[in-house]
Structures are given as C-alpha cells and as structure tokens.
Structure 1
Amino acid sequence: MPRDDATTALSERSSGARRFPVIDWARTTLGPRAGWPTALETVARLMLHSRQPMFLAWGPDLAFLYNDAYAPILGARHPGALGQPFRQVWPEIWEELVPLVQRALDGQSTWAENLHLVMHRNGYPEDTWYTFSYSPLHDDEGRVAGMFCTCMETTRQVLAERALRENEGRFRALLDAAPAMMWVTDRDGHCTHLNRSWFEFTGQAATDAKHHDWMAPLHPDDRPEVETAFARAITDHAPFRLDYRMRHADGGWRWVIDAAEPRRDAAGRFLGHVGSVMDITDRREAEERQAMLAREVDHRAKNMLAVVQAALRLTRAPDQASYARAVEGRVAALARAQTLLANDRWAGADLRAMLEGELAAFLGSLPGSARCTLEGPPVALPAEAAQPLNMLVHELATNAAQHGALSTPGGRVQVGWQVNAGRLRLRWTETGGPEIPAPPTRRGFGTRVLEGTVRGQLGGRLLLDWRRQGLDCTLDLPLAARTTVSEAI
C-alpha cells in the first residue's frame, strides 16, 4: 500500500490520524510520510487503532505521535501536540521523565507505577498519577530510533485510595477512642484492627492478635461455639452476636457480649465485619443474683406455707379462741422473721434483734422491770437459719408464758449465747416459775418445732433439761445453716 500523505491508512479510524494529512511532516524531524521507516509506520498504525492510551516518540527530538485514547491526557494541548518534540509537549515534567526516556533510548524497557507528576495541561498545575511503560523502537537498520509508551492515568484511583486510607485512619482513630473493645476483619475473617480498649482489657500484645490469634483470650470452653458462629457469619455475610467469657488482663475471667455487623462498600460488596465487645460481668452477676433471689423467695414462701399449714394442723387448744390465739402467734412470729430478713435484703438477720422481737413484752422499759435478760456478742444469722430459729424462740417464749417462768410474776428467763469456730451456742434458762414435777410426755407443736428445727433443719444439737426450777434449753448449731424445707413439722 502506498504511504503518501493523502492516502495513508492512518487516517481511517482515528481523529488524531485524520489530522495527519494537513501536517507538513517534511518540516518535522519525522520527514515526509513516504519516507517513514516500516517500524514507525507499523507501530503508528497499531497505536492509532488501540483503545489503550499510547504514544510514540521518534527521531532526534522525539517527535510526538499519539492515539485518541491518549488525547484526554493532553487536555488543552491536543491536537497541537502532534509532531512536536516530546520535551516541548511536556516541558513541566520533562526533567522527571529524562531518566526513564534515556533508559528506553539505551535499549531498555522501563516501568513506572502510580508516578506522581504535576502537569499544566489545562493551563494550571494539576497533581496527576500514571502507570506506564517505555519500550525502545528500532528503525529498519535495527538502531534505537525512538520509544513507545502504553500508559494509564491512575489519578482517580490514587486519590480514591488515599481518601480511603484517610477515612480508614479516621475510622481507626474513632475506634481507638471508643470505651468499648472494637475489632475489624477482612472478608476472610482475618482480624485487621483491634482498638486500644481491647489491648487494655485483655493485656494481649499487638503481635499476638494477628489473624485468628485475636481469639486467644476466649475461654477454652466457649471458643468452639464462638468460632462456629463467627464462621457462619462470614459465610452468610450476616450479623454476629454472642455472650462468652474472656480472660481479663488481671488473669480473671469476665463475661462479655460480642456484637458485629457486616461491612460493605458503596457497591454493596461484603468487606468483612466490624464488632464491639462489652464487659457484662456485673450485669450477668446481677441477673444471676436476681434469679437466685427469686428461687430463694420461692423456697421461703413454700417453707413458710408449710409451717403455717403445720401450725393449723397440729395446734391443739381447749377452745376456738385459744386455737386462734396460738395460730396467730405463730404466724406473727413468721412475719417478724420475714421483716428482719427483708430489712437486711435477705442477707440474714441480727440475733439480738430477733430475740428482742419475740421477748419484747418481758424485757422491760424501766430499770429492774425486765423479766428477760439477753447477753451475747453481735451475731449475724444466715438467712436460711433466721426463720426457723425465730420460730424456735417463739415456741420457747410461748411455753414460758403459758406454763413456765414467764407465767408467774416472779419468774425470770436468761438468754445467753456465744460463737466459737463457726458454731452458735445459745442457752435458754428459766427460773422462778412453777415447779416441774417431770418432763412432759406429749410432743406438741412446740416440741416438734424445737426438735425438728434444730436437728433436722439447722443441722444442730438440742438439749432440753426439764429441771424442777424451770426449763434449761441449750442449742448448738452451725451458723452456715443448711437450706431445707422445715422438718420441724
């Protein structure tokens, strides 16, 4: 095919090529088109028909030829750059390109990735970035006569990545400022960031938290469940929420709640998870205490009901009025025990306060008027022992008021106690009452309460000495009382 300026195939598809016929190539270092070397013609044709941005520079002054895809890179310099020397096309960046150009002219291919160049292509300086390669071009005699470039402007990509990094930096700074533990993973579940609170809580070193090692602080019994749930969340690109135990920096185990949501880009593609971990040990312990208290209240309610039912069933009296008084007294004793426990939030009851409540009528408000004396150190009864012991004292007081020392004006009751090695030893001594000719032969409700409460319910020992001058009762029981439904009935 003839290669004259008017009929060249270079004008077939490219707007850049269509300008070739009006250019006086003879006035450039390229010379008339008819005399172009085959290598130059061939590369020019290949370049003009490509959609990849390309240019070639040929001859002593590296005359510049380019295709349509390269034209946007030139900006306002297109189309006047055709046939101009390379250094005149890009004077502001020429010095930066010289080393790469020289290597190409020395016969070596070069490569640059995201190279920063400040261009004035539109009349003002612009920060631009390019990825490109320079390759040497040989003339028909095999000598290097120019260079060929394929390139791509990566300015948008570089700026987007920079913005992403800045956003990621701000995001991580925000995570580090968060009081909760925060973590971020990639789409494969590998941990890419743990915030400052995580390391402060776990005491884990940053080098130990790579990939799945970030799960090292999890309790061994909980880790399989967490790993299974986390793997499912990754597969399903789904949220994640689970309670588990984690080792604290102090070496103890703490309960935490871990909640995460999938991360997605602007196109909705899954990027991984971002999660937060919060210490819920106090909340969980409070819930457990509440549940335990509910069980305790239920147990005590059933126990009280059992005692009331027994009082109704076993109380003996000569008439209805006496029966009612006896039952009401025992129920009132139960109520007083409940009040003592409630005042101390069911943690227990004070022994002296319990005794004063049952013996208030005989303690006396004036000097010398007391018919009962109380002597002993402060003792906090466990909640499990307060109610049955209160019933026991009530039965002793009732028996003393009806038949014993407190049934006569000159009778006295002395109550003394001491604590030794975790056991309470309480002695109830009656004097000055009616003589007791012999121990009672019938086991009434009171006797059942005394024996069943001390031995069966509280796991202690009871000694009843029915002396002629009055009852002498000694109780010996552990302060860590057993929790059982009353066996006194």
Structure 2
Amino acid sequence: MSKADRDGEHQFRLLADNAPVMIWRSDLTKACDYFNKPWLEFSGRTMEEELGFGWAEGVHPEDYDRCVQIYTTSFDKRECFTMPYRLRRHDGQYRWLLDNGRPYHDADGSFAGYFGSCIDITDMKQALDDKDVLLREVHHRVRNNMQLISSLLEMQASNAQAPEARSKLQETAWRVRSIALAQEQLHEAGSFSNVDLGAYVRSLILAVADMQERIAFEVDADPIPFSLDRAVPTGLIVNELLTNSLKHAFPGDKAGTVRVEARRGDDGTVTITISDDGVGLPSTDLPDRARSLGYRLVKRLGIQAGAQISVENDCGTRHRIVLPPA
C-alpha cells in the first residue's frame, strides 16, 4: 500500500470512528473488512471477532436468513439496500437497527465493495408499536359504537308509526352500518390505515342482501388495497346506490338482480359498477335528482373521494364510479 493510500485509509478510519452512527465496510468477497468504533462499542466485540462474517453471529435468529438474503442479493445486483434487523448488544439485549448499504467504487470506477451505516431504531419502533396498539383499540371501539348506533336506529325505525320517518331512520341506520363495516375490515385485516376495497364492497352487499329475499345480488370484486379516508366515502356511495336500487328499481313485488363489480385498471384507477335489471330511471342526469337526500350525499361523497360518477339506462340502471389512482 502506498503512502497516499495509507494516509487515505487513516483519514477514513478517523472520520468513521468519530461518526455518530455505526459503520461497516465489505470487500469484493462480501466479507466485512472494517467496523468503526461505535459498532465495536455497541457489540462489545473486537474487530477480529467481527471481521468477515463474524458480525452475523450477533443477528437475531429470527432475522438472520432475511438479513443475509437481502445483503447477498443486493450485493450481487450492486444495488443499495435498507433493512431493519435485531443485533445483540454488548449487554446481551437485542436492539433494532436500520442498516443502509450502498456499493462504492475505486478511483478508476471499478466496483470495490459496500459501505454501510446503522442506527438504533428500537425506541422509535417501540413508539410506533404503541401507536399501532392505540389505533387498533380506537378502531375497535369506533366499530362497536357504530354497530350500536346502527342497531338503535333500526330499533327506532321498527317502532316508528309514520312510514316516512321509519324509512328515513332505516336509511340512516344503513349509512352508519356502512361506516361500521369499514372499521370491521380494518380490524379483520390487522391494519389501521388500509382496507381491502373488494372485501369491503362484498360486506356491504351482504348487509343489503340480508334485508330482503326477492332481489338477487351478484358481486365480482378484485382485492384492492384502499386507504380508509377514501374507502369510507366510496362505501357510502355504494351503499346509497344499492339501497336506491332496492327502493326504486323493482316496484311492488317485482324480482330482479343487482350486480356489482370492482376492478383496478393497469393505470391504477378503480372502477365500481352497480347495475340492475329493474325498471330504470326517469332521468339519468344527477342534478335533476338533487332534491333527493341520497343523491345529494352521492354527489358530495363523490367529491370527497375524488370520484367521477356516471349513470345510464340500459335494460335497467347502471352506475359507474371511477376513482383516481391513490
């Protein structure tokens, strides 16, 4: 090694040892040939013990295979990587690290190995886990409260003497139930921010189908991850259009079929189609029906969800809801 190279290596080690992060370096064989002082202080091991693949002895057994796979795959592809894993500290406690690695090159541009830096994210991860638990509890309580409110409204509707009041209370109960079903999807998915829109639409249809027997419901929905703030107004729109079909598409004792499809396009747009083979609508212009509370809600919710809503009469009624990519 030339004097210039020795001076450069010395300068690198001086900077690395005084960096506020744990630093490692690997050579062309994937083996590590350097760890800085913060790393060695964390692990409580000597440089000789960590060199090569000795460092991996401290990786948590549950993280080991994933850790090695990400490292070797990224190395072979000469790609940057970021991965969390648990590493044993000098006191025997496993701590969560966030490891960022990237390839580096010699002065002539040839690949020379990898540099990596790690930070301890244990406290941050614990805070996020605590937040996750809190949000799950909040969603659980919201779901239960919504279901209770829906049940109370339905009970009040069944006791109402005036037909108009009974109808309005029942419609309100269905709307509350629609929101409760979104919360239920969050609970079942183990998420506090995203729902499967396809499963959500299915649950809405099952809830509506339980109200009567003479109308058949068909559903064909893709699994579509959807954020809660978009899923709730979308679900309410679907709920309004489904209940509208129940009330107007099949007058008297007329039977029929309502079909719902939910598709995600290659461009990320989501299209939900609600069609029936009923008597159709006297007008397909949404503004002409603005006096109806249901259609006023559909219009407002469409704006909230960023949706384009169209309707047409063709052997019944077909509503199409087009939602932009997330």
Q: Normalising by structure 1, what TM-score?
A: 0.36
Aligned to 2:201: 355
Offset, 1:254: 3.4
Aligned partners of 1:297 and 1:425: how far apart in 2? Answer: 32
1:284 has 2:124 as partner: yes
Offset, 1:459: 2.2
Aligned-residue RMSD, C-alpha: 4.5
Offset, 1:392: 1.6
Higher RCO (CA-CA < 8 Å; seq separation 6+): 2
The residue type paired with residue 356 of structure 1 is R
Aligned partners of 2:137 and 2:307: how far apart in 1? Answer: 24
Aligned to 1:473: 319
Offset, 1:371: 1.5
- For residue 360 of structure 1, give the secondary structure of its aligned residue in structure 2: helix
Offset, 1:323: 3.0
Offset, 1:344: 0.4
1:385 has 2:247 as partner: no
Aligned to 1:448: 296
1:182 has 2:25 as partner: no
Closer/same/farther in 2, CA of residues 195 and 282 from structure 1, 3 Å limit: farther
Aligned to 2:166: 321
Closer/same/farther in 2, CA of residues 441 and 447 from structure 1, 3 Å limit: closer
5+ residue gaps, structure 2, are 1-39, 57-94, 102-113, 154-161
Contact 2:276 2:317 in 1 (8 A): yes
Aligned to 1:29: none
Offset, 1:297: 8.1
Contact 2:197 2:225 in 1 (8 A): yes
The residue type paired with residue 199 of structure 2 is A
The residue type paired with residue 463 of structure 1 is S
Offset, 1:443: 4.0
Closer/same/farther in 2, CA of residues 370 and 362 from structure 1, 3 Å limit: farther
Counterpart selection for 2:118 from 238, 254, 259: 254
Offset, 1:330: 1.4
Closer/same/farther in 2, CA of residues 371 and 293 from structure 1, 3 Å limit: same
Aligned partners of 2:98 and 2:295: how far apart in 1? Answer: 54
Contact 1:374 1:415 in 2 (8 A): yes
Aligned to 1:411: 256
5+ residue gaps, structure 1, are 1-177, 184-192, 203-242, 257-280, 481-489
Closer/same/farther in 2, CA of residues 427 and 197 from structure 1, 3 Å limit: same
Aligned partners of 1:284 and 1:338: how far apart in 2? Answer: 27
Q: Normalising by structure 2, what TM-score?
A: 0.51
How many equivalent residue pairs? 213
The residue type paired with residue 320 of structure 2 is T
Counterpart selection for 1:460 from 296, 307, 314: 307
Percent of paired sites with the same residue: 18
1:331 has 2:176 as partner: yes
For residues 363-409 of structure 1, the C-alpha deviation after alignment (integer angstroms, 9 at most, x for no partner) is 69xxxx86222224333333333322221211111111122248753
Contact 2:199 2:223 in 1 (8 A): no
Offset, 1:284: 2.2
Offset, 1:362: 6.8
Contact 2:98 2:118 in 1 (8 A): yes
Structure 1 segment 290-329 matched on structure 2, within 5 A: 290-291=130-131, 319-329=164-174
Aligned partners of 1:251 and 1:397: how far apart in 2? Answer: 58
- For residue 436 of structure 1, give the secondary structure of its aligned residue in structure 2: coil
Contact 1:349 1:382 in 2 (8 A): yes
Aligned partners of 1:407 and 1:399: how far apart in 2? Answer: 14
The residue type paired with residue 354 of structure 1 is Y
- For residue 44 of structure 2, give the secondary structure of its aligned residue in structure 1: strand
The residue type paired with residue 476 of structure 1 is V
Aligned partners of 1:322 and 1:338: how far apart in 2? Answer: 25
- For residue 341 of structure 1, give the secondary structure of its aligned residue in structure 2: helix
Aligned partners of 1:179 and 1:357: how far apart in 2? Answer: 54
Closer/same/farther in 2, CA of residues 432 and 453 from structure 1, 3 Å limit: same
Q: Highest CA radius of gyration, 1 or 2?
A: 1
